[in-house]
A and B are shown apart, each in its own frame.
Chain A
């Protein structure tokens, strides 16, 4: 509907995200995590956020910093516990953050379903386990399934490799992970990229996320972002 807006700074890219928003945050560990956007969000001050992301932060940057500063009320993820997830661990043990644990494939499919207009779906994953507690079940052709609902975001924050000036995206290697499905599942999709190229410079056969899913794009030097100098 609306054309993509290319902005000059990560701070500008995340402007207007309100308190209480549900954010879809891309990345698998650090690969594909939109660190610059998250750190700009810290600067921006939104609170009481619900974050949907595979992990609950690594080390001290990005999502971990958002959790450390108590901006996240609830996290929906598959794998919060890692050797370097100390900020989540501390918040969880202090009862300061709510955790909704979702099997990774169910997390991905719930996000995909939200972007694809699916009302709910039955999946075999988790049937007969504690993560099925309270869920509607059905036996189809002799196999047990759980009913799972879509997971939509107000905002998606993702990282891609390159955007063209229309907002078409390509990714790099396993950093693609949640980017394409999150881009489709949020009201506003905000993307940090390594490079912005002219329209026509991306081979249409190689575009992974078509521009209609993308609202704002900012070019970020990832080396600067990791040192915290991007703002």
Chain B
């Protein structure tokens, strides 16, 4: 298979950030999704929730801002913004499970055309399973966005008809942001909203699922 080159991780983070409505309450997963916070405009009023018990999380802490009592879900020292609040773990997960978060953005091993998510365990024997808050987030947020590369390193698609990795949640993903395209997972179809460095017909040969083209075509 020829190598496809899409957009960079930072360019993708910028696109996800632009899709988050001002004033939203948002949880950004560990890893790639954390970068989205770099592109949220300061005046957007978006408040970040972190599963370990905080709303109003600020940027990563540097130098003398570092406080061992103030960390994010990845245990990285962070800062607090004016208007922040702290709460215990049961309340923090009630915020998720209770549908009080507008959006969460997670990484994934695989997403199915139905929106099933697999992102917590490779399922390989000998790999230590670790689930953390992934299942609570995927199940509880009003919208679950996934941010990932569309293909594995050896070129296999990660957006599939059926996940063969252990599932995190059923039919929970609403959008998939990848380096090659942005997909909207709708009840009975998968819509392609944006394409990056690849055309629609090539994309249909790369993926083994039916796709609907709704990209904004340039005027003829």
Partners in one complex: yes
On A, residues with C-beta under 8 Å from B are 28-32, 54, 58, 78-82, 88-89, 92-93, 99, 101-109, 111-112, 123-131, 144, 161, 171-181, 208
Closest CB of chain B to A112's CB: distance in Å? 4
Interface of B is mostly: loop
Nearest-CB residue, chain B, relative to A124: B139
| B92-136 interface bits toward A, Cβ cutoff 8 Å, 1 = contact, 0 = none | 111011000000000000000000000001000010111111111
The A/B interface has a contact count, at CB < 8 Å, of: 145
Residues of A within 8 A of B70 (CB): 31, 173-175
Contact A127 B170 (CB under 8 A): yes
CB-contact partner of A78 in B54, B132, B168, under 8 A: B132
Residues of B within 8 A of A127 (CB): 139, 169-170
Q: How large is the interface on B (under 10, 10 to 19, 20 to 34, 35 or more residues)?
A: 35 or more
Can you pick out 16 interface pairs between chain A and chain B where the beta carbons lie within 8 Å of each other?
A: A29-B71, A30-B68, A30-B75, A31-B52, A79-B132, A89-B128, A101-B130, A103-B134, A104-B93, A108-B88, A125-B140, A129-B168, A129-B169, A176-B53, A178-B89, A208-B88
Closest CB of chain B to A217's CB: distance in Å? 18
- In the complex, whether B213 has a CB less than 8 A from a CB of chain A is no
Question: Given that A79-B131, A127-B170, A177-B53 are known contacts, is A103 also in contact with B86, CB under 8 Å in the complex?
Answer: no
Contact B93 A31 (CB under 8 A): no
Contact B90 A78 (CB under 8 A): no
Residues of A within 8 A of B53 (CB): 28, 174, 176-177
- In the complex, whether B179 has a CB less than 8 A from a CB of chain A is no
Contact B93 A108 (CB under 8 A): yes
